[in-house]
A and B are shown apart, each in its own frame.
Chain A
């Protein structure tokens, strides 16, 4: 059964870099050529924001609103992928979820598709 689990520090200081890892079990990232893997966040009590995704080959897609601060990478040998968000502020405080994406052909090439399954999420607080 496919499962995703986020891990990383729950507290990050302003201006520093947030780093999270999503460990995937039940499927090998290196053979998952029909899916992307990515990150979505949810500030406390608020809605959902897509951050970005990665294909097993390393191809990435980022939300333009965060692109200058985001790096997503994959390590197929460890079967996990990671998120780095630099220069964080209090506005980056959120529950961060990793999720498998189901990309679909679209008018602009490939869309990110829907997200399923999701990890349980991890709360990251930005505070000094």
Chain B
């Protein structure tokens, strides 16, 4: 299985500032034939299911604010939340879908400073 490791486990950011969540895979999730990275990001708020934010490492799901952006390639990826809003407090997960079984990072809890 591909192991996904996120850092940090938690972070506190001030309103209006930028938050950065990192995700590292134990092997590359870049499919050379398509030149696509098989990586998604989710947001989970308390008592709710995860919500898809980004797929193909950088493609925002419809309706997701443009302050959420994804970047990276191969084994190292980043979710950036610019201009942090109150509703962004949540746990964020990365997920690889390069191989079966799909696997998730352990989650990064984002809170206000």
Interface size, chain B (Cβ < 8 Å) = 27
Taking CB atoms, residues of chain B closer than 8 Å to A114 are 40, 52, 55, 95, 97
User: Are B34 and A111 in contact, with the CB atoms below 8 A?
Assistant: no
Interface set, chain A 25-61, CB cutoff 8 A to B: 47-50, 61
In this assembly, does B50 line the interface, its C-beta being within 8 Å of a C-beta of chain A? yes
Q: How many A-B residue pairs have CB under 8 A?
A: 71
Chain A 87-102, CB-CB to B under 8 Å as 1, else 0, gives: 0000000000101001
User: Are A112 and B100 in contact, with the CB atoms below 8 A?
Assistant: yes
In this assembly, does B77 line the interface, its C-beta being within 8 Å of a C-beta of chain A? no
Which of B13-21, B82-90, B104-112 forms part of the interface with chain A?
B104-112
Instruction: Considering the complex, give the chain B residue whose CB is closest to the CB of A118.
Output: B49
B interface vs A, CB < 8 Å? 1, 31, 33-34, 38, 40, 42, 48-52, 55, 61, 93, 95, 97-107
Further contacts, 15 of them, CB under 8 A, given A48-B95, A114-B52, A121-B49 = A48-B104, A50-B101, A61-B100, A104-B38, A104-B97, A105-B34, A106-B31, A107-B31, A108-B99, A111-B38, A113-B102, A114-B40, A116-B52, A118-B49, A118-B50
